């Protein structure tokens, strides 16, 4: 080893090409760019460029297999005149708002339970996390079957327990029930992420704080509101921001469960954009719909960079 280093430092005559390359690669100003080039190329060609294309499409009358023309913001005007889009816009906020709220509340509750001394701790964690790792499209098929209009096991159980009147709701065929169904599945699938992340933050809270509070006579409630919740805030902020963007942009659950129906009452931007852009071929309009996800993305990135990362570093 040492011999080779001497060779590089005291080269006899002109160093060999391999040695010169090695010398270059040892310089941070060269190795850095070399290391990031593959990732950079990929992101430029397959993320940044498609994004610009989406912008152009949204301002054009692009249609599958036809040359497109620039038409300004006509797509956006047309969208606001369409009932389907206005319904979708409203759905996106209802769906995301309710789902994220439930995931936060249930996530905190579940994390508090998991943070206690438990039997079979590892097994319980494994079960809790399971919905999050199974392919969503496939597990949603299971929910589709559970909400089936004739054989719904949800309704069977509800009737058996006396909570529902036979035959029970037609979950996927009625407006509000269908929305409730997609929200339930989204909560089911997203809850593990909330619970496990919040649990990690709970574990990090120093025990002394609770002991001191207890010594001062603070009850369990007071300890939760004055110690646990304030200390969870940074993590909750990250989790809620991440979840907001991925709930807004959800596709799989709605596509498998309802295809946006009945009468557009569960369409989200992604599912409507697919129907318009792929099924009917109006790429321009489809791109305009999916671009509505962009302001949400900008907001989340801005909030993350401004508040959350400042706290983290």
Partner 1 sequence: MAVARRPLLRKTLLHVGLVPFLLFALFPFYHMTLTSLKQDRELYDRHAVPLIIRQGPTLEHYAKLLQETEFLTWTKNSLLVTALATGASLLIGTVAAYALARLKFFGVGSFGTGIFVTYLVPTTLLFLPLAQVVNWLGLGDSKWALVLTYPTFLVPFCTWLLMGYFRTVPKEVEECAMVDGATRIQALWRIVLPIAVPGLVCAALFAFTLSWNEFIYALTFTSSSEQITASVGVTSELIRGDIYFWGELMAGAILGSVPIVILYVFFLDYYVSGLTAGAIK
Show contacts with partner 1 in window 89-148 (CB under 8 A): 106, 110, 113-114, 116-119, 122, 124-139, 141-143, 145-146, 148
Token pair, residue 58, equals: 């949204």
What DSSP string runs through 182-199? HHHHHHHHHHHHHHHHHH
What is d(CA 206, CA 228) in angstroms, rounded to the nearest whole number? 10
Part in contact with partner 1 (CB under 8 A); list of ranges 36-44, 70-78, 84-92, 215-223: 36-44
- Please choose, out of 32-40, 76-84, 173-181, 218-226, the segment that lies near partner 1 by the rule CB under 8 A: 32-40
Asked if 196 interacts with partner 1 (CB under 8 A), we say yes
Q: Are 190 and 98 in contact (CB under 8 A)?
A: no
Stretch that binds partner 1, among 47-55, 79-87, 89-97, 169-177 (CB under 8 A): 47-55
Cβ atoms of residues 210 and 274 within 8 Å: no
By CB under 8 A, residue 18 contacts partner 1:
no
Residues 254-313 that bind partner 1 (CB under 8 A): 255-256, 269-270, 273-274, 277-278, 283, 286-287, 290-291, 293-294, 297, 300-301, 304-305
Q: Tokens 């469960």, residue?
A: 257
228 is a site residue for partner 1 (CB under 8 A): no
Least CB distance from residue 1 to partner 1, whole Å? 5
- Please select the residue that binds partner 1; options are 15, 54, 84, 98, rule is CB under 8 A: 54
CB of 137 to partner 1, least distance (A): 4
Instruction: Answer left, alpha or beta for residue 13, where phi above 0 means left and psi between -120 and 50 means alpha.
Output: left
Contact by Cβ (8 Å): 277, 63: no
Residue 76 makes contact with partner 1 by CB under 8 A: no
- Rounded least distance, CB 199 to partner 1, Å: 8
Of 16, 20, 33, 165, the residue at the interface with partner 1 (CB under 8 A) is 33
Which residues neighbour 254 within 8 Å (Cβ) at sequence distance 6 or greater? 182, 260, 266, 267, 268, 270, 271
Other CB atoms closer than 10 Å to residue 232's CB: what's the count?
19
Q: Which of residues 202-221 bind partner 1 (CB under 8 A)?
A: none
Asked if residue 43 binds partner 1 (CB under 8 A), the reply is yes
Q: Is 171 in the site for partner 1 (CB under 8 A)?
A: no
Residue placing its CB nearer to partner 1 in the complex, 147 or 179: 147
Query: Which 3 state secondary structure label does DSSP give 16?
Result: coil
Residues 6+ apart with CB under 8 A from 125: 114, 196
Of 35, 70, 93, 176, the one binding partner 1 by CB under 8 A: 35
Under the criterion CB under 8 A, does residue 188 sit at the interface with partner 1?
Answer: yes
Q: Is the peptide bond before 262 cis (omega within 30 degrees of 0)?
A: yes
Q: Cβ closer to partner 1: 175 or 187?
A: 187
Determine how many CB atoms are found less than 10 A away from the CB of residue 196: 17
Q: How far is the CB of 36 from partner 1 (least distance, A)?
A: 5
Can residue 150 be called a binding residue for partner 1 (CB under 8 A)? yes
| DSSP structure class, residue 227 | I
The angle formed by the CA atoms of residues 242, 244 and 247, to the nearest 5 degrees, is 110
| Cis status of the peptide bond prior to 82, with omega within 30 of 0 | no
Residue placing its CB nearer to partner 1 in the complex, 175 or 204: 204
């Amino acid at each position: 080893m040492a011999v080779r280093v001497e060779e590089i430092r005291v080269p006899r005559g002109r160093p060999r090409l391999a040695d010169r390359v090695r010398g270059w690669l040892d310089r941070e100003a060269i190795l850095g760019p070399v290391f990031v080039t593959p990732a950079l190329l990929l992101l430029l060609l397959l993320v940044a460029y498609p994004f610009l294309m989406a912008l152009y499409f949204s301002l054009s009358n692009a249609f599958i297999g036809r040359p497109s023309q620039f038409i300004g913001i006509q797509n956006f005007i047309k969208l606001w005149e369409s009932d389907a889009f206005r319904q979708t816009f409203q759905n996106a906020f209802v769906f995301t708002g309710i789902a994220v709220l439930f995931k936060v509340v249930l996530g905190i509750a579940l994390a508090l339970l998991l943070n206690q001394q438990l039997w079979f701790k590892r097994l319980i964690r494994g079960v809790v996390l399971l919905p999050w790792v199974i392919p969503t499209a496939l597990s949603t098929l299971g929910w589709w079957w559970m909400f089936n209009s004739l054989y719904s096991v949800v309704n069977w159980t509800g009737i058996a327990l006396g909570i529902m009147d036979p035959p029970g709701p037609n979950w996927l065929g009625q407006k509000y029930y269908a929305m409730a169904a997609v929200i339930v599945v989204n909560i089911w699938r997203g809850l593990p992420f909330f619970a496990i992340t919040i649990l990690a933050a709970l574990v990090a809270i120093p025990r002394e704080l609770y002991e001191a509070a207890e010594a001062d006579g603070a009850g369990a409630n007071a300890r939760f509101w004055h110690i646990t919740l304030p200390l969870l805030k940074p993590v909750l902020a990250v989790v809620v921001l991440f979840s907001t963007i991925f709930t807004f942009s959800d596709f799989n659950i709605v596509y498998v469960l309802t295809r946006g129906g009945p009468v557009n009452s569960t369409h989200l931007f992604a599912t409507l954009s697919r129907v318009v852009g792929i099924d009917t071929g109006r790429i321009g309009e489809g791109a305009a719909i999916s671009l509505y996800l962009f302001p949400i993305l900008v907001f989340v990135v801005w909030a993350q960079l401004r508040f959350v990362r400042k706290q983290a570093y």
